[in-house]
Structure 1
Amino acid sequence: MKLVVLGLSLSSSWGNGHATTFRALLSAFAARGHEVLFLERDVPWYADHRDLPDPEFCRLEYYASLHGLADWRDEIARADAVMVGSYVPEGIAVGAFVQEHAQGTTCYYDIDTPVTLARLERSDCDYLSRELIPGYDTYFSFSGGPSLERLEQEFGSPRARALYCSVDVSRYRPLDVPVRWDLTYLGTYSPDRQPTLDRLLLEPARRRPDLRFAVAGPQYPDGIDWPDNVERIEHLPPARHAEFYCASRFALNVTRADMIAAGWSPSVRIFEAAACATPIISDRWPGIETILRPPSEIILADSASEVIAALDLSAAQIGEAARAAVLEDHSSKRRAEQLEADLLFQIEESTVRKTCHSGEFV
């Protein structure tokens, strides 16, 4: 099939987790024989930090404005399926354009579902509106569990399905590199994640000056008091993620508040670290046991003391068990199979509706 995707970014992983998610999913989807066109809004903050300007698995094009999106009207109209992602600039207008011109099936891919639902409730969501949701044939969600029921019953989605993030296991795998850190965290700064990062990484670092820590990711404010044994890495491109995880005895997972409240919202960092067989220490949220089972595949911690106790463990078997679970259920190949099946179902259902409407079955 031909799939057109309008997403936040494919070309740049700077300050967002969308790019790595789309890269893993769409490369595996294209490997199944499908054609993919990715349309990205050309914005300066990504243009200045492009680490995949020319992907080999799909056609990547840019549009400068909503007016410029009109140049792609025919491509959108001819596609078998069109996907709009969350946080797309002027996403409400983009979604309305797609729903007006797409002749194939349409879907929304929300990589930020709990944040989106919270913003919709506050009426301050600038990339999706309540009115658009019923117009998408399928609402693919980064969150499973109760969020899917809410999307259908409260927001009118005809069909809500979980489409978790995934990992490209050809890129994320155990590497023979020296271990440099005892505990690391990889993620962009977020105000609602910072208290957990303080509690589960910075405080253990203060209590254990004999251990080594690292925090990688952009946009952290200057006022943070980093202990001397915490190394700061401003930006780590995806090509270096696997090496970073493999150089860590443990990786920390920290979840945004809205996603903790919604539950069933695994971060891509969980899958990446697990694919590298790096043991993970995570905060708690409903549904985490459906992704990785504690304590055999992941360690859950609420306090600095629990983190310090975990760091004294020999946990190689936990990392190996997590890797096995991710290879089984959360590889990009598995996720692409799921996307293909869901889209084909929707395309076939749409074809039946159109045929019935034309009177051929009468």
Structure 2
Amino acid sequence: MKIAFYGSSILSSYWNGAATYYRGILKALAEHGYDITFFEPDAYDRQSHRDIEPPSWCRVVVYPATAEGLHGVVRQASAADVVVKASGVGFADDELLAGTMAAARDDAVRIWWDVDAPATLAELHAGPAHPLRRALPELDLVLTYGGGEPVIQAYRQLGASDCIPIYNALDPSTHHPVPHDPRFDAELGFLGNRLPDREARVEEFFLRPASLLPDRRFILGGSGWADKACPANVARIGHVSTEAHNAFNCSPRAVLNINRDSMASTGFSPPTRVFEAAGAGACLITDFWAGIEMFLQPGTEVLVVRDGADVAELLRSLDADQAARIGQAALRRVLAEHTYDRRAVQLDRVLKATLDAKRKELAA
């Protein structure tokens, strides 16, 4: 089965938090026999910050971020059995959605794959004339990387035929325990790009505990933080490429997950960082969000906090042995239940059932 997948980037994680997700799920899907072509625009300087070269399990087409480049790749949707337009491609998203779905064959499955569903749904509810809102009834399926029942029901109410979460997960071949790296030595590490609906939560859950524990070292990784005012004990280390994520997760006493506002309020949306950290055996601290127990058990596999004061209190009492026990318990859980291989089995069933139902309908 051929898949044409139009996304932000599979080659670069630079200003592109979805890269790990795309790599994990598509690599696992390719192992089930799918022939995948990933189309990504040459935008946001991502191509000069590649983390990987084009992989063997996926053909990658990088196209110019121009009208001509867009037109060239849109036409290629006609060769696929499954056509996927992901959210947040970053160049001419509305035109790309309209073009790829129009170019798809009548017997192809048309999919909107939302990697930021809470934010997308807020846009759709605020804009009745939004192009995606008009397109939803004509699509065969909505997939999301999180959101749970609230997102499923919201998409169905907006006219989607169905909405199925394909949650983030772990690829143990890329994210796994490694030796301690002195570059990332710290009491607490946080890795995430600076975004408007994340910054206030970073101030509360990361910078506030740093100010409360001035004798402890904190490291802040990700793009956009260079001019952010931080306590003196916070080291801003900039973009951390994916090949260094394991060392980043394994070296601090604990690592912190901070959800964006929309995902925290919706819940059921574990970001890739949760599984990357757990896969490395890191002691993970996360802000609270509904549904976390579906993925990790609070108290034994992950530490859950409500504010920055909670983070500081945890760090005062967290010793190396306790951190190691929590990290190892998280690693066992994600290896048993939350790998991309498992997600691919689920997705394979969904795609085949959807394609089969569509072709039966056309034949009737």
User: Do these two structures clear the TM 0.5 threshold for a shared fold by scoring above it?
Assistant: yes
Q: CA deviation at 1:150?
A: 1.0
The Cα shift of 1:73 comes to 5.2
Q: Percent identity?
A: 33
Q: Which amino acid aligns with 1:68?
A: G
CA distance in 2, matches of 1:338, 1:328: 15
Equivalent position of 1:159 in the other structure: 162
Partner residue of 2:137 out of 119, 134, 137:
134
Q: Which residue of 2 aligns with 1:95?
A: 97
Structure 2, unmatched stretches of 5+, are none
* 2:41 maps to 1:79: no
1:264 aligns to 2:268 (yes or no): yes
Q: How does 1:267-306 map to 2 (within 5 A)?
A: 267-306=271-310
How far apart are residue 147 of structure 1 and its match? 0.9
Query: 1:159-210: per-residue Cα shift (whole Å, max 9, x none)?
Result: 1000112221111111122561111000000232222222222222222223
Is 1:193 matched with 2:198? yes
How far apart in 2 are the matches of 1:282 and 1:271? Answer: 12
* Aligned equivalent of 1:359: none
Supply the distance in 1 between the matched residues of 2:181 and 2:204 (Cα, whole angstroms): 27
Distance apart, 1:124 and its partner CA: 9.4
- Is residue 2:69 matched to residue 1:68? yes
Q: Does structure 2 retain, via aligned residues, the 8 Å contact 1:209–1:229?
A: yes
Could you tell me which residue of structure 2 aligns to residue 54 of structure 1? 54
Q: Contact 2:75–2:100 at 8 Å: present in 1 too?
A: no
The 3 A distance-change label for structure 1 pair 27 and 276 is same
Deviates more, 1:234-243 or 1:40-49: 40-49
* 1:12 alignment partner in structure 2: 12
- What CA distance in whole angstroms lies between the structure 1 residues aligned with 2:233 and 2:6? 42
Q: Are residue 232 (structure 1) and residue 236 (structure 2) matched?
A: yes
Offset, 1:53: 4.0
**2: distance between equivalents of 1:45 and 1:167?**
27
Instruction: Give aligned pairs, total.
Output: 353
- Say whether 1:218 aligns with 2:223: yes
Partner SS state of residue 236, structure 1: coil
The one of 199, 208, 212 aligned to 2:213 = 208
Instruction: Give unmatched runs, 5+ long, in structure 1.
Output: 357-362
Report the CA distance shift for 1:136/1:66 in structure 2 as closer, same or farther (over 3 A). Answer: farther
Worse-superposed segment, 327-336 or 346-355: 327-336
Displacement of 1:235 in angstroms is 0.7
The alignment partner of 2:112 has SS state of strand
Q: For the structure 1 residues 348 and 225, does the alpha-carbon distance in structure 2 shift closer, same or farther, using more than 3 Å as the test?
A: same
Secondary structure of 1:264's match? coil
For 1:308, give the aligned amino acid. Answer: A
Q: What residue is the counterpart of 1:334 in the other structure?
A: 342
In the alignment, what sits opposite 2:174? 171
Distance 1:158 1:216 in 2: 40
Preserved contact between residue 145 and residue 263 of structure 1 (Cα < 8 Å): no
Segment of structure 1 superposing worse, 239-248 or 207-216: 207-216
The letter of the residue matching 2:217 is R
After TM superposition, give the deviation of residue 245 of structure 1 in Å: 0.2
Question: Alpha-carbon deviation of 1:41?
Answer: 1.5
Q: Which whole-Å CA distance do the structure 1 matches of 2:271 and 2:248 have between them? A: 17
* 3-state DSSP of counterpart to 1:272: helix
Q: Give the letter aligned to residue 357 of structure 2.
A: E
CA RMSD of aligned residues (A): 1.9
Cα drift, residue 249 of structure 1: 1.5
Partner Cα separation in structure 1 for residue 51 and residue 275 of structure 2: 21
Looking at structure 2, the residues matched to 163 and 333 of structure 1 have their Cα atoms a distance apart, in angstroms, of 12
Q: 1:284 Cα shift?
A: 1.1
Q: More displaced, 237-246 or 19-28?
A: 19-28
Does residue 1:39 correspond to 2:39, yes or no? yes
Indicate conservation of the 8 Å contact 2:201/2:260, yes or no.
no
AA matched with 1:91: D
TM-score, normalising length: structure 2: 0.91
Distance in 1, Cα, partners of 2:307 & 2:242: 29
In 2, Cα distance between the equivalents of 1:138 and 1:342?
10
Task: Give, in angstroms, the shift of residue 325 of structure 1.
Answer: 1.8
- From the superposition, tell whether residues 240 and 178 of structure 1 become closer, same or farther in structure 2 (CA, over 3 Å): closer
4+ residue segments displaced more than 4 Å: none
